[in-house]
Amino acid sequence: MRLQDKVIIVTGSTTGIGRAIAERCVAEGARVLVHGRDRAKGEAVVAKLGGRAALQVDDLADPACPPRIAAAAMAAFGRIDGVVNNAALVPRTTIYTAKVEDFEHTMAVNVRAPIFLIQAAFAQLKANRGSVINIGSINAHSGEPTFLHYSASKGALQTVTRNLANAHCNDQVRFTHFNVGWVLSDNEYTKQVAEGAPADWHTKIPQAYAPSGHLIAPETIAAAAVFWLSDESRPISGTVMELEQYSVYGRNPAKT
């Protein structure tokens, strides 16, 4: 039990990567504050996790949301040992379609909310020598053509991670950043179908995107999260993990 009796907040944990992380944390002995905007989905996750999970239904676009999430964890479990900032908006935008209100909404959820959730939990994280994981994306390095706002937000979040790791190394609070590649989450599957892909699109991924022949499973990200949330990874902090199927930097596939 690598997370025995630790209390972990996981935002956006009613589906996909967040749900997989919440489930794996509980399997490793933790108690988890599940967060999301869909009460029915959240209640289903909490029911599956039994008495080791509590639910906070809230919208991270609301500036008052992060303190409420931290307060909910304290009310349910009395402590906070880890935070996983997983929730994110993934809008399709370009320089032609960008709107101020959409940009501000994306940055509010993807950057502002993680900062202020960390702030709200920081006294507990410091007292308990806690760990924070910010879930980013390989789009932070430039991004797909239609991910302008999303890429900007994930680049910002990566810098937030490094800044906090540098600023608070002496506080014994650790910060890790995951830049994840293409993951077969519930939301990704639904989005692709809604945009016109066939129902079996995920079985026909070009090798350029998935050398293994399949997309990354949420459970793979969850397995990595457990290590960085646990004391096994202490004292390492400030690490940016590229969780992709190929080298993200300097990739140069064969031309023939």
Q: Is 26 in contact with 100 (CB distance < 8 Å)?
A: no
Cα separation of 200 and 202, whole Å?
A: 5
Catalytic residue at 246?
no
Q: Token digits for 243? A: 């969780």
Q: Which residue in the list 96, 150, 209, 246 is annotated as catalytic?
A: 150
DSSP per position, the chain: -TTTT-EEEETT-SSHHHHHHHHHHHHTT-EEEEEES-HHHHHHHHHHHGGGEEEEE--TTSTTHHHHHHHHHHHHHS---EEEE-------B-TTT--HHHHHHHHIIIIIHHHHHHHHHHHHHHHTT-EEEEEEEGGGGS--TTBHHHHHHHHHHHHHHHHHHHHTGGGT-EEEEEEE--B--HHHHHHHHHTT--TTGGG---TTT-TTSSPBPHHHHHHHHHHHHSGGGTT--SEEEEESSS-STT------
Residue tagged 């599957």 (tokens):
189
Q: N- to C-terminal Cα distance for the chain?
A: 48
Cα separation of 198 and 217, whole Å?
A: 19
Q: Which residues are catalytic?
A: 150
